[in-house]
């Protein structure tokens, strides 16, 4: 993401919107042959993944987390773009009634004027309530029943400078609410990359390659095993989508990657393969050549090992 006000649009009532960055967010709202070809590629990829998963006896589901620009276009206050051309909107049309794709744009837009915002005003991510809404849609699509108290779990509240707010000179703070979801599920496995960063107290720097496994022995948990390839809207810590799913299914594997690791999937043989990605990351079509084991070792013996002698501030998480 590029820095500076030029990548952030200041909308109505303090709402901030990402408009630049390495993924060229505004390109997700343009037409033309290049975008048409990209969405055709995603459509073919989703269908091919579903066929391969079905051959393995696995239920496959894809969800794209819409950009705030796609959901809250009424808050943009004069920004010139075409929300009707959003990639999520067009993918929903291409994959209408396909069992491997779940449209999150329609339910999020339908609920956007509720009492609780679904996205953070000064950040690119959804709020706990936005994530909870999406989780309920996912559970419905999977024929699963959420725990009765899942929306009433205790939470924490803090005032923080979020990812878009920190790009502005005034650095506005926002009230951040997070669910404390973890009760029945336990993290039983942590990949070496995440473990190494956590040992240094630098887990916030970990992105692609983070890998965790949760198990839930509760008799009320759905007995199915789920593998989730996702990003920061799911997260490895149990306060967003991964945490909600871990409290719902007997076993949940989370891998931070937009590219699938099919040998890993074939070894685990989950009942459900779930793929989650933020709309801006549709800019690049995955090759599905990810290797969980190789990614888990990246950086653990080099950059992190130097932290003890070089001091803080030199390690950079893989992107």
What's the alpha-carbon Rg for the chain, to the nearest Å?
19
In this prediction, residue 298 carries a pLDDT of 74
Residue 200 Cα distances to 166, 210, 268, 307, 311, angstroms? 24, 15, 30, 8, 11
Q: pLDDT tens digits for 186-245? A: 999 999 999 988 888 887 888 999 999 999 999 999 999 999 999 999 999 988 999 999
In this prediction, residue 315 carries a pLDDT of 37
- Structure token pair of residue 199: 């040992």
Q: pLDDT tens digits for 260-285? A: 999 999 999 999 999 999 999 999 99
Q: Torsions phi, psi of 144, nearest 5?
A: -115, 155
- Rounded to an integer, what is the distance from CA 109 to the centroid of its chain? 18
**Mean pLDDT score of the chain:** 89
310 pLDDT higher than 80: no
How far, in Å, CA of 23 to CA of 20, rounded? 7
In this prediction, residue 309 carries a pLDDT of 43
Q: Torsions phi, psi of 25, nearest 5?
A: -55, -40
More confident residue, 307 or 186: 186
Residue 66 binned pLDDT confidence (cut-offs 50, 70, 90):
very high
In this prediction, residue 304 carries a pLDDT of 52
């Amino acid at each position: 993401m590029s820095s500076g006000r030029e990548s952030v649009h200041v909308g109505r009532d303090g709402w901030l919107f990402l408009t630049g960055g390495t993924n060229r967010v505004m390109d997700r709202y343009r037409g033309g042959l290049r975008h048409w070809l990209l969405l055709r590629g995603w459509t073919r990829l989703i269908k091919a993944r579903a066929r391969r998963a079905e051959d393995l006896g696995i239920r496959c589901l894809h969800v794209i987390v819409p950009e705030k620009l796609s959901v809250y276009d009424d808050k943009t206050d004069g920004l010139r773009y075409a929300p009707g051309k959003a990639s999520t909107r067009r993918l929903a049309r291409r994959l209408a009634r396909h069992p491997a794709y779940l449209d999150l744009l329609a339910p999020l837009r339908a609920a956007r004027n509720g009492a609780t915002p679904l996205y953070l005003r000064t950040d690119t991510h959804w709020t706990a309530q936005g994530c909870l809404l999406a989780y309920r849609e996912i559970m419905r699509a999977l024929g699963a029943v959420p725990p009765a108290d899942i929306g009433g779990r205790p939470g924490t509240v803090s005032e923080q400078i979020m990812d878009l707010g920190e790009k502005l000179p005034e650095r506005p703070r926002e009230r951040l609410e997070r669910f404390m979801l973890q009760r029945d599920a336990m993290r039983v496995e942590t990949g070496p990359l995440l473990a190494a960063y956590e040992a240094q107290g630098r887990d916030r720097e970990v992105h692609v390659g983070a890998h965790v496994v949760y198990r839930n022995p509760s008799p009320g948990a759905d007995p199915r095993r789920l593998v989730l390839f996702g990003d920061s809207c799911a997260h490895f810590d149990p306060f967003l989508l991964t945490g909600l799913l871990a409290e719902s299914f007997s076993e949940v594997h989370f891998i931070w990657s937009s590219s699938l690791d099919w040998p890993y999937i074939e070894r685990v043989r989950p009942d459900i393969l779930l793929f989650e990605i933020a709309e801006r990351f549709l800019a690049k079509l995955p090759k599905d050549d990810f290797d969980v084991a190789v990614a888990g070792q990246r950086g653990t013996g080099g950059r992190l090992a130097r932290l003890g002698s070089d001091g803080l501030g030199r390690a950079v998480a893989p992107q």
